Structure 1
Amino acid sequence: MRGVLRVGLALTVVGATVASLVSCTQTVTGSPAPTGGIDTASVGGLPITDGPSGPREGAQDAKLDVEGTDRGEMDRLATNAIADLYEYWGDQLPKHFDQEFEPLDRLVSYDADGEGAEICGESTAGLVNAFYCGGGGEDAIAWDRGQLLPGLDEMFGSMSVVGVLAHEMGHAVQFRLGEKSNINQATPTILREQQADCYMGNFFRHVAEDQAPHFQINTGQGLNQILATLFFIRDPAGLDHRTQGAHGLAFDRVFAFQQGFTNPPTRCAEMDTDEISERITEKERSEQDNQVEGDIDPTENIDKLQESLDGAFAENGSEQPQIVDNGSTCENGNATTPVTYCPDENIVGYDADALRELAAKPDANASPGETGSGGLGDFAAFAEVASRYALSIQKSMGVSLDDEKAGLRTACLTGAWAGYTNQDDRILRLAIGDLDEAVAELLQEESLIAADVNGRQIPSGFARVEAFRRGFLEGWTPCSKDFS
């Protein structure tokens, strides 16, 4: 069994969006009670904090036997992560599965630009990746310290490195549990990968509870960034979930991570092929569908977007706003970028240049933060416009547009519109990979998809994703009923 995380080409896309982390912890205020079953003031019952994320200052480096190590910064980071994972699973397997956890036979560090080491019957030369392999006499986790780990660290911060290794350790847990984790030789890759994401969520709950010896993470932007990382290590668009090697879309991987974060490891072990087949979003596509280019200039298709949104909310009976190119301004009221809803005028104004920048295809060859490094894709831009349109729908309901409930309704209604486009006869049809663009944008620090009319976001990334998911799966009706 081999779990290879699909990382690489997308690593250098959004370095400029990584949040800077402050040095002291404080609780971020929010609603004290759940709204529509979604608690905006906590993450899985933990208060939302904005504080340090990364290696714990003053913690002594772990001493583990790592083959090929250069004892540099990346290997120290990886070794400390493995040590904390050993401790965590050493406690959890006896507690939940009545089974001892055995450390791995091999830990291997290598440089993809170097000579290469032999592991799992392959050379690591040129392999920009991290992976677990088990069976056939192998029980090992290996990582590329030359390109992969530094790239993750530079783009998303050191906790993304911990996340990748936590995912790979999830495969080692599966290998040890075997049929206790619904895993056998016939198990499709997608189930293995979703379980590993879930086990990753288990460990990050442990870190968020301040229990890890070497690491800490805040439950605000720090945890949101881990969720956003899943966008950049998702499956390539168009890969069917039944394909050997499929990991799943970010929309599905975030769900699996959340399940692990909010439940014990037994929930991850319960995932089976029936569950995966029922909830995985990226179903089989026709050959014609797989050839569809998903990234278009949104400013040249505003008329189609207008028609799409009008159709999605036609049954609401409200006076639908006009989408106009006015530089994202309002004669009265606050403006937001790149799109603004103006309640007095009932218009959605956008900044054409900013929308095009957001809609650009990610540039895999750009350096982190480099000008022109690309955006998140066309659906990310369309979803920003849809979120401001959704405020007009809320205005017609007579509800507030400037509180947390407005943010939840906005995410839910944007998800409902996305679900509306997921049908064959739509003028704008959801393309392969579009949901991932929405998830990535939803989790960015300045996204409007889960924000009120003034651009104030729901602080909990879990709440943002759940509200969007509810609209996508159930339509716009629960958006008004659940978040009133």
Structure 2
Amino acid sequence: MARRTGKGAALVAALAVAALLSGCTEVVSGQGRMMPPDASKVSGLDITTGESGPKPGVPDADLRVENGDGGEMDRLAINALADVEQYWAEQLPKNFGGREFESVKRLVSYDSTGRGVEICRINTAGVPNAFYCSLDDSIAWDRGDLLPMLHEAFGPMAVVTVLAHEMGHAIQYKLGPDGGVTQATSSIVKEQQADCYAGNFFRWVAEGKSEHFRISTGPGLNQVLQTMFFIKDAAGTSAEKRGAHGSAFDRVTAFQFGFAGDPKRCSQIDDAEIQERITQQRFSAKDTDSGTGMGNLPVGERKVLDKLEASLRDAYKQSGATPPALKETMVDCADAEETLPASYCPSTNVIAVDLVELVRIGTPTKRGQAGGIGDFAAFAEIASRYALSIQKATGYSLAGPAAGLRTACLTGYWAGTTNKEGVELRLSSGDLDEAVAELLAEGSLIAADVNGSSVPSGFARVEAFRDGFFEGSGLCTRKYGS
């Protein structure tokens, strides 16, 4: 997070907080009533916690692969691509005017740690990657470094995620202008579409239609989203850069669009939509470093906490609620449990913070050193407790999954108010990715009720935060007001 007031596009409009106060579930006259989401579901599917990965006892797919070694990574890749092809064989004609799916012409396995092979006019030696090449209609993957690393870090469905994304590029090439992609289409649009197409496929898997794989909509889907976080562009990368894929926030957004929608929704992602919602930005010369990492502030300093408190008061000033006091020591509370690094006590209207834990979370991890996530993650956890005070003042329950979703949404709303011109405490590149990291962590406080009970689904947590960020506080009460 940066202390600066430079030029920047405001991605959200701070809707009148009177809507937050009203607590009504009515949308604008004539548009009917918005039903609140079921906190026990993910895009209409039950939240499940079962095993994710290859289905036991299912024979491997029989696809012709060049340069393979028959090992575990190749078998996983082949089974993934076989199921992704089955998905598109069903969905392409259904969604694109009867257009028949044609399998990619080449599947190539290679080991980036060994002798290179020539694919798509490049030598694969030292290239840990997976990619689609339109020159010969091929999909290639590195079985020696990339796939094992993803498998170890996030499980087998991380490998499936990457290959489903690459098949998304194949679909773009096969559809061409019919799918909204031409030679002139920017990299960021192509990558966001491919992430969205991967989301389409994983909805199909979650519905139990995949032959070789299964995924839970709780921990399993969280791991898929964590994979999207891992393969994001580095903070400070311009969305206009050739080859840009998107920040974690942007990539997860595109994936969620696909999971909740159909392939036609994904093909509608274009430059106009990207300009409207993309959050990826370069670092500004005014972004503060202070030795904590580019764009990160020292969250344990009182003057920094004062700026955060002023930002929160300004965001919610129209609510009329009495601002909670912010104290640097934990205190006993009669009507709520202690939560770290910040707790809200309804009976005293006090937010108490643990500075040691706050600093740990707010200090980014550096190579070879222990650390946390970044300043925005720490600030957002405090903001979530502040959002509870607003809910208390406006008569909402502070306990249960609905309170957790509403809290995430209102925290996202606050984040949106820091992304406007003229504010002193302002979003910098990478801040929203820090929010995604926190929201996908076990026990996320941003999406937790007053007692620290988190919404079970990381997918739902991120979606609620994004709703508040882009749409404002009015949607938080209309959609999550039960």
Common fold: TM-score over 0.5: yes
CA contact (8 A) 1:38 1:463 kept: no
Aligned residue type for 1:42: K
Which structure 2 residues correspond to residues 154-169 of structure 1 after superposition, within 5 A?
A: 154-169=152-167
Match of 2:202 in 1: 204
Counterpart check, 1:470 vs 2:471:
no
Higher relative contact order (Cα pairs below 8 Å, separated by 6+ residues): 2
Match of 2:308 in 1: 305
Match of 1:223 in 2: 221
Aligned partners of 2:119 and 2:55: how far apart in 1? 31
Match of 1:376 in 2: 373
Instruction: Tell me by how many angstroms 1:415 deviates.
Output: 0.7
Match of 1:102 in 2: 102
Which structure 2 residues correspond to residues 18-29 of structure 1 after superposition, within 5 A?
A: none
Instruction: Tell me by how many angstroms 1:332 deviates.
Output: 5.5
Which structure 2 residues correspond to residues 325-474 of structure 1 after superposition, within 5 A?
A: 325-327=328-330, 330=333, 333-363=336-366, 365=367, 372-474=369-471
Q: Secondary structure at the match of 2:344?
A: strand
Q: Secondary structure at the match of 1:142?
A: strand
Counterpart check, 1:260 vs 2:287:
no
Aligned residue type for 1:150: P
Which structure 2 residues correspond to residues 124-163 of structure 1 after superposition, within 5 A?
A: 124-135=124-135, 138-163=136-161
Aligned partners of 2:161 and 2:55: how far apart in 1? 16
Aligned residue type for 1:147: D
Instruction: Tell me by how many angstroms 1:122 deviates.
Output: 0.8
Aligned partners of 1:290 and 1:49: how far apart in 2? 41
Match of 1:479 among 465, 476, 480: 476
Match of 2:122 in 1: 122
* 1:50–1:287 CA distance, 2 compared to 1 (3 A): closer
Match of 1:294 in 2: 295
C-alpha distance after superposition, 1:361-393 (max 9, x if no partner): 234x45xxxxx4532221111111111111111
Instruction: Tell me by how many angstroms 1:278 deviates.
Output: 2.0
Q: Secondary structure at the match of 2:352?
A: strand
Structure 1 residue runs of 5 or longer lacking an equivalent are 1-33, 367-371
Question: Quick one: percent identity of the two aligned structures?
Answer: 55
Aligned residue type for 1:475: G
Match of 2:111 in 1: 111
Instruction: Tell me by how many angstroms 1:426 deviates.
Output: 2.1
C-alpha distance after superposition, 1:238-264 (max 9, x if no partner): 222222111122222222112211222
Aligned partners of 2:117 and 2:305: how far apart in 1? 52
Q: Secondary structure at the match of 1:288?
A: coil
Aligned partners of 1:270 and 1:260: how far apart in 2? 11
Match of 1:324 in 2: 327
Aligned residue type for 1:83: A
Match of 2:190 in 1: 192
Q: Secondary structure at the match of 1:299?
A: coil
Q: Secondary structure at the match of 1:341?
A: strand
* 1:289–1:211 CA distance, 2 compared to 1 (3 A): farther
Aligned partners of 1:475 and 1:36: how far apart in 2? 18
Aligned residue type for 1:60: P
Aligned residue type for 2:359: R
Q: TM-score, normalised on structure 1?
A: 0.86
Match of 1:80 in 2: 79
CA contact (8 A) 2:61 2:78 kept: yes
CA contact (8 A) 1:328 1:351 kept: no
C-alpha distance after superposition, 1:409-444 (max 9, x if no partner): 211111111111112322311111111111221122
* 1:289–1:86 CA distance, 2 compared to 1 (3 A): farther
C-alpha distance after superposition, 1:289-330 (max 9, x if no partner): 578621232112222212221222222221212222225864
Aligned partners of 2:468 and 2:438: how far apart in 1? 16
CA contact (8 A) 1:406 1:452 kept: yes
